[in-house]
Structure 1
Amino acid sequence: MPKFSTQRDWQLAQALMQPALIRVIDNIRKQLEASSWQGSYQTEQVWPTDATPAQKQQFEDLQGQIRQAQSVAEIDQIEQQLALLPTPTPLYELQLKAGNQLQTVDVWQLCYQVCFRDYTPPGDEDYPVAVDSQLLNEEAGSIDWDKLDEKASQIIGHIFEQLPPTEAQGEG
């Protein structure tokens, strides 16, 4: 997860991430329709290396309990217990396949590239991110969907341009 420059950037990112995910997924679909590559999505939970099997099971059990909780007090109590446990990081990957070629793309990283200005991919986690303010209509207090779609389209287009040629595409 990126480190945020300010609390405001964190709040803006919260508002932008779901719309960015929607635009990223839609633009992947459009690119796949025009491509010889086939795409599928994989989800996985990555646990911290120090998480024990018992902690993982307790986390899963509490997640089940929270879905069945009957009161706010019960939810609060379960959330307090969850806060004491290691938490998995959800991975959401796009698997692109053409013939015997396989490429994997981290969908969350694509969303970060859309949401943040000059986003640097993993490896530089200490570098704080700032929301791309051009994606927001601050006067109206809303998201500029056209600019969001345009940026997502450019990023996804670049991903597909970087894919190696397939037999169906030829060398041409």
Structure 2
Amino acid sequence: MPPKINNSVAWQQAELLMQPAFIRVVDNIRKHLDVSSWKGTYHDVLVWPASITDETKAIVTRLLQEMETATPQQADEIRETLTRLPMPHPGYHLLLQRQGQEVSVDLWELCYQVCFLDYTSEHEAADIDTSLIDDVGEVDWLRLEAKTKELVEQVFDNLPG
């Protein structure tokens, strides 16, 4: 889940870092895949809060599908119902495959690890890693690249042998 950001300065810093972090994550993954026996494919996914039941997921999914063919009045009623239900957020995963083994990597979670200090998905709030921002408020590309490279290497180092 995305970390909760509690103030406007941290929000601006996150906005500054997330796109460059994502680009560096994908590029570093590509570099590893070029020399790895693992093959990778990217997939859009829906990410649900952990506490959501399969029944609720099915209801929301069905309502979202019904929206596609609903009349304007039906669509308004569906939107009203959806406001009272939990909604997934879009995710982007890398599926790594090798010799019958599969490992899924959540790319947004990896980006959060790059952009935030000691980020784990269990913590609701996280602090921006301000060492990735230079003295004039721009991205420190060298630090960003170094941290991204280290985290992507950890992903590949932790793959099953």
Interval of TM-score (by shorter of Structure 1 and Structure 2): 0.7 to 0.9
Return 5+ residue gaps in structure 1 as ranges: 62-80, 166-172
Structure 1's 53 and 112: CA in aligned 2 closer, same or farther, altered over 3 A? closer
Structure 1's 149 and 85: CA in aligned 2 closer, same or farther, altered over 3 A? farther
SS in 1 for 2:160: coil
5-14 or 87-96: bigger deviation:
5-14
Q: Does 1:155 align with 2:144?
A: no
Q: Could you list the structure 1 runs, at least 4 aligned residues long, displaced by more than 6 angstroms after superposition.
A: none
Alignment of structure 1 residues 58-137 onto 2, 5 Å = 84=83, 87-120=87-120, 122=121, 124-126=122-124, 128-137=125-134
**How big is the shift at 1:3?**
1.5
Root mean square deviation of aligned Cα: 2.6
Q: 1:145 aligns with which of 141, 147, 152?
A: 141
Match of 1:74 in 2: none
Tell me the amino acid that sits aligned with residue 31 of structure 2.
K
Match of 1:27 in 2: 28
Count of matched residue positions in the alignment of Structure 1 and Structure 2: 144
**How big is the shift at 1:60?**
5.7
Instruction: Provide the identity percentage.
Output: 41
SS in 2 for 1:11: helix
Tell me the amino acid that sits aligned with residue 143 of structure 1.
V
Counterpart CA distance in 2 for 1:145 and 1:59 is 43
Counterpart CA distance in 1 for 2:61 and 2:96 is 32
Contact 1:55 1:85 in 2 (8 A): no
Counterpart CA distance in 1 for 2:142 and 2:67 is 40
Tell me the amino acid that sits aligned with residue 156 of structure 1.
V
Structure 1's 54 and 96: CA in aligned 2 closer, same or farther, altered over 3 A? closer
